A = this chain, B = another copy of it.
């Protein structure tokens, strides 16, 4: 299982661990995880993945097989490998709750732990938090574009592996999706499930009507029939003809699905066919290459819900964000990299948010964690001494409510998915600390 082995990491984490151990560098370190820049396609992000990050930190360990394999590689000193058997994360984590809107340069997760531990967890922490934030942020755009119409995750098949499919289903639901087709995500996260039928089901039957009847009689609950296998309007006419026959058997057709062609055109035609036959209660569900822009363009079409695959679960327009996990302090001293275009702000930080009277976000300030607050603090205690201290971090439904509130609090232009973002101010105290850190580094021999 990928998420259980401590070997799911970069080789350099192990190398640095050995070097830190050899030198006795086990003082307290502060690392922060943040998104450096937002791409033009993203005016805001929705923080996600914290629950899995905490689970990883609590459970991270090297098992006997990992250690035996490491020994076999001959890459590390035997004494160091032995020491890994007891290696645990014993540190503190402060983080922005899942479902919170965040912006560039804002720490979303801060680790305070002995340097080897804080360093070692870098790769998998980024792997977990980055991906779910990528998906939640993309899903949120679809939620905003949907105008309240039903949104269902159909994207497991094109997700990047199994864990991606599961995490994407979770992140999408967190962001406001109504359901997922991924069964294991239903089992693992309690997300509502929704599914229809495939073209193959229709094709395997000798006729479309026969396929509809078979499916309806076996799977009558929430019945959604796929009508575009051969000809969408003819499919709709067959549904209209079947509806009274099925009603006589006590079966209601809940919806039809369109999956190809000009969805607006076909939705109008199908709506007309169904309504003319007295089937006004049958809803129209659409799928096939949808993203937030297409959903927005379908605002006027008689479509009641959308199944969204690839654009959701791969976040295809921005499948990665510029996310980093950087050392901000060690052994009581601020630390900072100054690499071109990648300089970081030193010190353990906090984010304060200022809201208008109606709850709209006005702007954020990133300051040192012990500065006087200038708004509502976003980072909260999550783990202390290696244990989860906030059980609410495991409450996905609460995170989903938080996401809904976050979307409602965005400036109107961001809710309309227009370009732009929220202003983030770096506090004077951080700038002063950076200058001091640079002077100290310049004094190096």
Contact = CB atoms under 8 A, between A and B. Distances in A.
Q: Which of A115, A166, A203, A315 counts the most chain B CB atoms within 10 A? A: A203
Given A1-B1, A164-B164, 10 more contacts: A7-B183, A11-B194, A14-B195, A127-B158, A158-B323, A163-B164, A199-B327, A208-B444, A260-B341, A262-B340
Contact of A161 (B127, B194, B316): B127
A182 interface: yes
A158 B130 contact: yes
B209 A445 contact: yes
A154 interface: yes
Contacts of A103: none
A182 B10 contact: yes
Among A12, A16, A341, max chain B CB count under 10 A is at A12
A245 interface: no
B230 A441 contact: yes
A339 B198 contact: no
A25 B205 CA distance: 9
16 contacts: A7-B183, A7-B184, A7-B187, A8-B162, A10-B154, A10-B181, A11-B186, A22-B217, A31-B200, A127-B156, A127-B161, A131-B160, A161-B166, A161-B167, A204-B335, A232-B340
A161 B158 contact: no
Interface in A200-227: 200-209, 214-215, 217-219, 221
Interface of A: 1-3, 5, 7-16, 18-20, 22-23, 25, 29, 31, 66, 69, 73, 75, 115, 119, 122-124, 126-128, 130-131, 134, 154, 156-168, 181-184, 186-187, 193-209, 214-215, 217-219, 221, 228-232, 259-262, 288, 310, 314-316, 319-320, 323, 326-327, 330-331, 335-342, 441, 444-445
Contact of A319 (B10, B15, B160, B259): B160
Nearest to A210: B444
A124 B217 CA distance: 27
A87 to B, nearest CB: 14
Given A163-B163, A326-B199, A19 B214 contact: yes
